[in-house]
Amino acid sequence: MSRGGDSTATVPEADFRSYYGQPVLKPPVWHVPHMPLYLYLGGLSGASSVIAAAARLSGHDRLALAAGVTAFAGAGLGSGFLVAELGRPERFLNMLRVFKVTSPMSVGSWTLAVHGGLTAAGAASAVTGLLPLAGDAAVLAGALTGPVMATYTGVLLADTAVPAWHAARRELPFLFAGSALASAGAVGMLTTPRAEAGPARAAAALGAVMETAAAAVIERRLGLEGEPYQRGKAGLLMKASRALTLAGGLLATVAGRSRTLTAASGLAITAGVLCTRFGMLEAGKASALDPKYTVVPQRERAAGRRLAVVPDQENGSHTP
């Protein structure tokens, strides 16, 4: 009852709370630019190895060479950024002591090690001309590790408790696959004569569509947990990614007409993919720092479970 005897005063609706407004979760401690660049380079290497194998089988030798070298360079540079993120090289070696198929980090560590070796062997053979059969075998084997390399980082993010990442667990592998394919196609366009770069242009356009579609589904399906992708620094990066990737993908369809269009398409897609990687990290940090992205969805799920139990109790079918 309010002061003055007004019995109509109502209690304000309870809102989410955390302990003195502090974050419920610790934000990701991954560093910038180490981790976003590793995510980019790993995807680039994985998709490039698939393009290299397809180009080898279809007779596009110049594209196969460029994609194979790109796959090796991406794996090597990505490993360097990962080691820098970990702080000491032996920490990466420690992750190889066991293999757990249920752990995205364990699967990813072993994939990186095997994929890096295969791309190194394939690129060395292609550049030197030595052991061509062994080199071709390494390229074809790299096409098997490539898809895992391109997508496992999306699974790794989704396997955390970070709200913006975990809620997008269905879409992240597709987003990372599309992003990786677009980046590999873009680099292939920039490093291969236009007459032989047709498959790279097709890969870039397809990847751009896949990434843009997956990002749109994330923002629409997630509701509250999708807000971090649309606000603040992450929102700016994701908007820039969408514009650059779509523009680059559209240009890729006509890039065979001139070097200028090829350069514009490849650079726009590359910039867009990098914005995606940096935007994903920023969105994860923002969702972990704001307690509402943890508390509100938890309460909504709890309320939904209670509503599901009540009809069962009324029908006498609820079991403890």
Predicted confidence at residue 319, as pLDDT, reads 47
Q: How far apart are CA 129 and CA 123, in angstroms?
A: 10
Query: For all residues of the chain together, what is the average pLDDT?
Result: 88
Predicted confidence at residue 169, as pLDDT, reads 93
Choice among 104-108, 237-241, 284-288 with the minimum mean pLDDT: 104-108
The mean per-residue pLDDT over the stretch 290-305 comes to 78
Predicted confidence at residue 2, as pLDDT, reads 45
Predicted confidence at residue 129, as pLDDT, reads 93
Q: What is the pTM of this model?
A: 0.86
Name every residue whose Cβ is closer than 8 Å to that of residue 198 and which is 6 or more positions away in sequence: 60, 256
Backbone torsion region of residue 139, taken as left when φ is above 0, otherwise alpha when ψ lies between -120 and 50, otherwise beta: alpha
Predicted confidence at residue 105, as pLDDT, reads 84
Q: How far apart are CA 294 and CA 234, in angstroms?
A: 18
Q: How far apart are CA 185 and CA 199, in angstroms?
A: 8
The mean per-residue pLDDT over the stretch 282-291 comes to 92
Greatest mean pLDDT among 23-27, 84-88, 255-259, 315-319 lies in: 255-259
Predicted confidence at residue 291, as pLDDT, reads 86
Tokens of 123: 């690129």
Q: Per-residue confidence at 152, pLDDT binned at 50, 70, 90?
A: very high
Predicted confidence at residue 313, as pLDDT, reads 55
Give ∠ CA 230-25-241 in degrees, rounded to 5: 25
The mean per-residue pLDDT over the stretch 48-58 comes to 96
Q: How far apart are CA 35 and CA 278, in angstroms?
A: 9
Question: 11: part of which helix (H) or strand (E)?
Answer: none
Predicted confidence at residue 303, as pLDDT, reads 72
89: cis peptide before it, omega within 30°?
no
Tokens of 132: 């061509």
Give domain limits for the chain: 24-289
In three-state secondary structure terms, 192 is: coil
Predicted confidence at residue 14, as pLDDT, reads 46
Name every residue whose Cβ is closer than 8 Å to that of residue 284 and which is 6 or more positions away in sequence: 27, 28, 157, 160, 162, 164, 165, 228
Closest by Cα among 25, 299, 297, 308 to 167: 297
Note the CATH architecture for domain 24-289: Up-down Bundle (1.20)
Closest by Cα among 187, 221, 214, 225 to 203: 187
Choice among 21-30, 149-158, 238-247, 303-312 with the minimum mean pLDDT: 303-312
Residue 32 CB neighbour total at 10 angstroms:
11
Token pair 């090597």 is found at 76
Predicted confidence at residue 19, as pLDDT, reads 58
Predicted confidence at residue 227, as pLDDT, reads 93
> What percent of the chain shows pLDDT beyond 90?
68
Tokens of 1: 């009852």
Q: Which residue has the higher pLDDT, 139 or 19?
A: 139
Q: Give the pLDDT confidence of 54-73 residue by residue, as tens digits.
A: 999 999 999 999 999 999 99
Q: Give the pLDDT confidence of 3-40 residue by residue, as tens digits.
A: 444 545 554 444 555 555 667 777 778 888 999 999 99
